[in-house]
């Protein structure tokens, strides 16, 4: 949808970003040319802890070729967006860490509004902050994409919610579906915490997002606001099929992105270990001498974990 100006205004909830995140964003931005915006999101934003975690950033660039000094990373970013990198910097006697992804403004908008998979719109329907914007035009482009992500999320999540639902019902349903399409399944308690980390925001945005998504809903106000949407059973079945397809697609894309990280991450195999262990709960054994296993051994281990259902 092109006319989400009202929704974009509701998304403009930004506070001044923490100094630690500004420092990480500046360090990441210096590595690449043509960066017009930096977005901060994820667990470190929710819990405000930067010393023992890895902050999540997105850098939005004008084009991939300008963002890199060589052809290969630009080609890989265009072929299978985004590229992901790791950075750590000293800061007031501490070490700050972040992983950051790179997309063009154009691909970010596509991912928020048109991608079948929820990789972008599942992330950026959630609260996030704009750490850096090069100009007012770039900021408007970011807010437009964030509004599209919200609309796309709600349009795909609502058919899986009950006919009568609260904002909590809608968001916990949609977030659970989105997370299930990647190497990061969340249990019900985690989904509760995700909602409660920004409950006021989700309550505020649900009604306008449903309206912008084209749903005609009845709203009742008792102890909590509840919404009623009549969605035909056939549409709900098609929507269920689409989510099942996203799960299959997501597992394939996750494996390909992990393998691509071997080329974009320093200590890429160690990053893959961390990613798999964090999101599957399965510990990967190192070689007896403490060295990393070969790529072939890593792929064999990954296949065994997939067959075990480690990535639900």
CA 207 to chain centre: 22
pLDDT at 237: 97
Of 213, 45, 237, nearest to 129 (Cα)? 45
Question: How far is it, in rounded angstroms, from Cα 162 to Cα 9?
Answer: 29
Length, in residues, of the chain: 312
Burial class (CB in 10 A: 0-12, 13-18, 19+), 102: buried
CA dihedral 16, 19, 23, 26 (to 10 degrees): 20
pLDDT in tens, the chain (312 residues): 445 667 777 775 556 788 999 999 999 999 999 999 999 998 888 887 777 678 999 999 999 999 998 998 999 999 999 999 888 999 999 999 899 999 999 999 999 999 999 999 999 999 999 999 999 999 999 999 999 999 999 999 999 999 999 999 999 999 999 999 987 655 667 888 889 999 999 999 999 999 999 998 899 988 889 999 999 999 999 999 999 999 999 988 988 887 787 766 655 565 666 666 665 556 656 555 555 555 566 666 666 666 655 555
**Which residues, at least 6 apart from 23, have a Cβ–Cβ distance to it below 8 Å?**
89, 91, 96
- Provide the β-strand partners of residue 103: 60
- Provide the β-strand partners of residue 130: 39
Backbone φ and ψ for 128, nearest 5 degrees, come out as -155, 170
DSSP 8-state code for residue 39: E
Question: How far is it, in rounded angstroms, from Cα 114 to Cα 135?
Answer: 25
Residue the block writes with tokens 């100006």 = 5
Contact criterion met (CB below 8 Å) for 21 and 58: no
pLDDT at 187: 66
* pLDDT tens for each residue of 200-226: 999 999 999 999 999 988 999 888 899
Which secondary-structure segment (H or E) carries 41? strand 35-41
pLDDT at 1: 46
Q: CA-based diameter of the chain, in Å?
A: 64
pLDDT at 3: 54
DSSP 8-state code for residue 116: S
* pLDDT tens for each residue of 131-157: 999 999 999 999 999 999 999 999 999
Question: How far is it, in rounded angstroms, from Cα 28 to Cα 98?
Answer: 9
Could you give the domains of the chain?
5-229 (3.30.460.10), 233-308 (no CATH)
CA dihedral 136, 97, 64, 263 (to 10 degrees): -170
């Amino acid at each position: 949808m092109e006319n989400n100006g009202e929704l974009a205004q509701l998304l403009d909830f930004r506070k001044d970003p923490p100094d630690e995140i500004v420092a990480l964003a500046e360090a990441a931005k210096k590595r690449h040319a043509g960066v017009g915006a930096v977005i901060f999101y994820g667990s470190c934003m929710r819990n405000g802890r930067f010393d023992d975690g890895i902050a999540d950033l997105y850098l939005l660039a004008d084009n991939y070729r300008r963002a890199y000094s060589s052809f290969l990373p630009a080609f890989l970013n265009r072929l299978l967006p985004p590229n992901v990198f790791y950075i750590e910097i000293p800061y007031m006697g501490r070490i700050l860490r972040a992983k950051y992804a790179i997309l063009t403004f154009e691909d970010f908008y596509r991912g928020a509004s048109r991608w079948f998979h929820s990789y972008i719109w599942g992330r950026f329907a959630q609260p996030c902050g704009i750490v850096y914007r090069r100009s007012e035009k770039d900021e408007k482009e970011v807010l437009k994409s964030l509004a599209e992500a919200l609309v796309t999320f709600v349009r795909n999540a609502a058919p899986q919610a009950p006919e009568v639902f609260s904002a909590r019902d809608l968001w916990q349903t949609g977030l659970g579906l989105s997370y299930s399409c990647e190497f990061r399944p969340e249990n019900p308690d985690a989904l509760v915490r995700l909602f409660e980390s920004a409950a006021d925001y989700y309550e505020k945005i649900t009604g306008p997002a449903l309206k912008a998504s084209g749903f005609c809903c009845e709203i009742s106000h008792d102890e909590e606001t509840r919404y009623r949407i009549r969605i035909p059973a056939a549409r709900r079945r098609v929507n269920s099929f689409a989510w099942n397809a996203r799960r299959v697609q997501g597992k394939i894309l996750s494996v390909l992105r992990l393998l691509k990280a071997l080329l974009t991450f320093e200590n890429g195999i160690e990053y893959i270990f961390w990613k798999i262990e964090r999101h599957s709960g399965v510990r990967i054994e190192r070689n007896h001498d403490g060295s990393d296993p070969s790529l072939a051994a890593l792929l064999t281990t990954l296949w065994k974990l997939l067959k075990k259902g480690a990535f639900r």
